[in-house]
Structure 1
């Protein structure tokens, strides 16, 4: 089965407090985006990447590709105003029946094992959504109150959210809604169920400066292991 990874790097990263989008910040002298791309390429020799970038940063993305990767395995497209539109732009480059991974560029610490597990589950059920059980207490907040809920019923969702192209491509033809926070919510709105798989603790999303510090330490541990 053909494989595509849509790497979504369309954000600006305002919460990181940097003028440079966080996917281009350096970890151990390489951009965050480098580690994400390398892991997907290491996972499968026949995988093609569709890299979704902010229009103003396509040149910077191309420089990373030129420096470290096979240009024949990567295509770049422009990000949209929303994640939904960015992923939709990426899906327009999916040309064959395939398994499609959609992954946050700034989740650069995922493993090839997670990619493989998502692929195998998607072959079986049509989708695979990495998730971790919540370890914290959880409350639902309303205008004038908050209510505790059973944390055992709460799952924290990660990427790569993985789908058969027959599910995700038509799903993204529906009209955008504010509740579409990820690809799973889009596919569910299209009328399809999704399958959860075990995520990874280290598969963190780099959002704030403390996340960069944690990622640096985790990369050091992996190098020294």
Structure 2
């Protein structure tokens, strides 16, 4: 029998780099909030996600409640307050799943609204088989590292650009998040990797993270052609 599936959507942005006066997850993308596009991906019946947990700053609850009621009152999900860092926010999402004893949980950026369902499905499936799996793509550009005397070329065939979702066996992710937070924790894979190998799944170049105004324009263009 397949393991139960859960999802934690982390949306703690303040919109500073976007310069729009409101959190980027609430900006309009094809006339609906960015965050709503993201949640709908994980609520797709084909994925079979049993619980969808949205992690937001506590001071954004009222705004999201209004947007949810206006655009998608039928969308079932749970909302919990995040922490001061992404690590703390994911930990809060895991606590919300406290009564669950087994399953696979996806952690996903709330401002990645274009993730193909195939990427989400493949990452869940790989995590069910291997325990930990993340979406990633090869870099398209040449890449250089920095040194004290200048820079040096890196072999981009050995590099990957990490995306979300990042999926893990529930017990494994819980054990990882029992460790103290470290500055080296840049994503969930970096929290887990000391406990378990990370399987890479082919991501998608359309799976962009909306951070700047240019990203929003690109997302609009991509949606028009899908």
1:74-107 deviation line (CA, Å, top 9, x unaligned): 1111121111001011110113111100000100
The structure 2 residue matched to 1:213, chosen from 204, 217, 224, is: 217
1:193 maps onto 2:191 in alignment: no
1:160 equivalent in alignment to 2:162? no
Q: Distance in 1 between matches of 2:54 and 2:122?
A: 22
Displaced runs of 4 or more, over 6 A: none
- Confirm whether residue 40 of structure 1 aligns to residue 42 of structure 2: yes
How high is the TM-score relative to the length of structure 1? 0.93
Partner of 2:9: 7
Determine helix, strand or coil for the equivalent of 2:64: helix
**1:182 and 2:184 matched:** no
Question: In the TM superposition, what is the alpha-carbon distance from 1:123 to its structure 2 partner?
Answer: 1.2
1:13 Cα deviation after fit: 2.5
Q: Distance in 2 between matches of 1:57 and 1:135?
A: 36
When the two structures are aligned, how many residues end up with a matched partner?
220
Contact kept, 8 Å, 2:133 with 2:167, in 1: the verdict is yes
Q: Tell me the residue number matched to 2:120.
A: 115
Where does residue 146 of structure 2 map in the other structure? Answer: 141
Q: Which runs of 5+ in 1 are unaligned?
A: none
Whose helix fraction is larger, Structure 1's or Structure 2's? Answer: 1
SS in 1 for 2:65: helix
Are the equivalent residues in 2 in contact too, given 1:10–1:78 (CA < 8 A)?
no
TM-align CA RMSD: 1.4
Out of 156-165 and 38-47, give the one that drifted further: 38-47
SS at match of 1:179: coil
User: Which SS does the other structure have where 1:148 is aligned?
Assistant: strand
- Determine the structure 2 residue equivalent to 1:23: 25
1:64 and 1:113 mapped to 2: Cα distance?
A: 28
* Contact 2:132/2:196 (8 A) holds in 1: no
Residue deviations 1:158-184 (CA, integer Å, cap 9, x gap): 000000101101100101001100000
Deviation at 1:69, TM superposition (A): 4.3
Structure 2 distance, partners of 1:212, 1:144, is 37
Deviation for aligned residue 1:143: 4.4
SS in 1 for 2:127: helix
How far 1:45 moved relative to its partner? 4.3
Compared CA separation, residues 208 and 116, structure 1 to 2 (3 A): same
